[in-house]
Amino acid sequence: METVEHSLHADLLVVGFGKGGKVTAGTMARLGKRVVVTEQSAEMYGGTCPNVGCVPTKALVHRSRKRRPTDDPQEWYERAVSEVHDITSLFNKGNFDGLDSLDTATVLTGHTEFIGPHTVRVSTADGPVTVEAEHILINTGSKPVIPDVPGLRDSAYLVTSTDLIHRTQLPKRLAVVGGGYLGIEFAAIYRQFGSEVTLFESTSRILDHLDDDVQGVAEKILVDEGIEIVTGANVTAVEDLADGAEVQFMHDGRERTLVVDAVLAAAGRRPATEGLGLAAAGVHVTDRGAVEVDEYLRTSQPHIFALGDVNGGPQFTYVSLDDSRIVLDQLRGEGKRATTDRVAVPRTLFMTPPLAMVGLTEREAREAGYRIKVSSQPVEEIIAMPRAYVVDETRGVMKFVIDLDTDEILGAALLSVDAQELINVVTQAMRHGIKAEQLGEAIYTHPSSTEAFNDVIAAVVRSDA
């Protein structure tokens, strides 16, 4: 029987169901515009964060910390994965229904490929569908990078972060190749579940972008929890054995080996642009495979935008959300909002306690020529923060870098309970010109984590004349 190819016309086509595209699509559909959203996998409605990223990993962080020494690691882990799957399924369905239920919106599931500047072909289960649109958003996100290590790609024991959170079998021995945010978070999660974890980092230390004092506290917390961190390690090969994978690596000039049950590739993520047919659309990509965009997120084709991880910007869901604001301003606003408007974008590493950062480190501020004063205190010494003792989490440090001449906050590193929330307060202060003294003398609820600022900002330990 001859296959009939259906066609649709849309005011807006969104390729990929990530955060920025989803928000833009929903907004335009509620304004009565004809919107089509395509997603390659039915498991990815809503994008990386609610399905295989932020939501499941942070849910695993929480559940790993609730395991008692008497709880069987495998049973506890299997139950945790099942509970997390229930959460992600709920988010997945909610994201699909939230868009597909709108009168002028259609969600198509299947691989999407450009066949022209305004046209794509979607290979759905019911046959191909051609979509022609006035404006197009590329929102396909990113995918894990597999390091070019001999034997790794073909290893039966190789896992990505996505693979790992879908497995119900807890690895007894886990090797993590890569000491960035992803590697550290997963190392901490699986160590708490009961795995023996070895983290390999090729540079001389993990979290090398941090000041030495903050980095030292963070590393000590991880090591004290039983994570073996091997820095300056060059993983040279992975060889499958009958009972696991042998990781071969060079360290301190010696060739060493480690046998594990799983090898997590945690070398970062790269933009997911392969197979999109961008050349047919006349859309340029960078040398690193990201869709090339200007400050308004327009590609080389002015009617096509790229949002989120796929455009090579910071790989954070909240940045993708801000991308949607920029694109919406282009589609229905004044067209003035741009990526260059962003000030003080925070980031958080969800180890326990969390490590949250914004702005400049002390080292970066000095290198930039600022005259600075530094306020820093170990959490256990912050008298105005009894919450840390109440929840039995006194590990960590809080550090502020402040302009000596203007009293403006140049940056902060908060390694403490609730740091992922505290950093947003600091960020708002930086964005709106609130001085360090004002933040330090503000009235906060008690007992809370925020009131730590009353002590920490006043604790200036040194200044540059």
Short-list 79, 255, 258, CA closest to 176? 258
Please spell the DSSP secondary structure of 108-177, one letter per residue.
Answer: EEEEEEEEETTEEEEEETTEEEEEEEEEEEE---EEE-----TTTTT-TTEE-HHHHHH--SPPSEEEEE
CB-CB contact of 261 with 436 (8 Å): no
CB-CB contact of 417 with 387 (8 Å): yes
CB-CB contact of 401 with 362 (8 Å): yes
Active-site residue flag, 446: yes
Separation CA 120–CA 127 (nearest Å): 14
Cα end-to-end distance, the chain, whole Å: 83
Distances, alpha carbon 137 to alpha carbons 12, 124, 212, 295, 324, in Å: 8, 19, 42, 15, 10
Q: Scanning the structure block, which residue is given the tokens 């659309």?
A: 281
Positive or negative torsion for Cα 186, 189, 193, 197: positive
Count CA within 13 A, CB hemisphere, residue 202. Answer: 9
DSSP 3-state percent helix, strand, coil across the chain (nearest 5): 35, 30, 40
Write out the catalytic residue numbers: 446
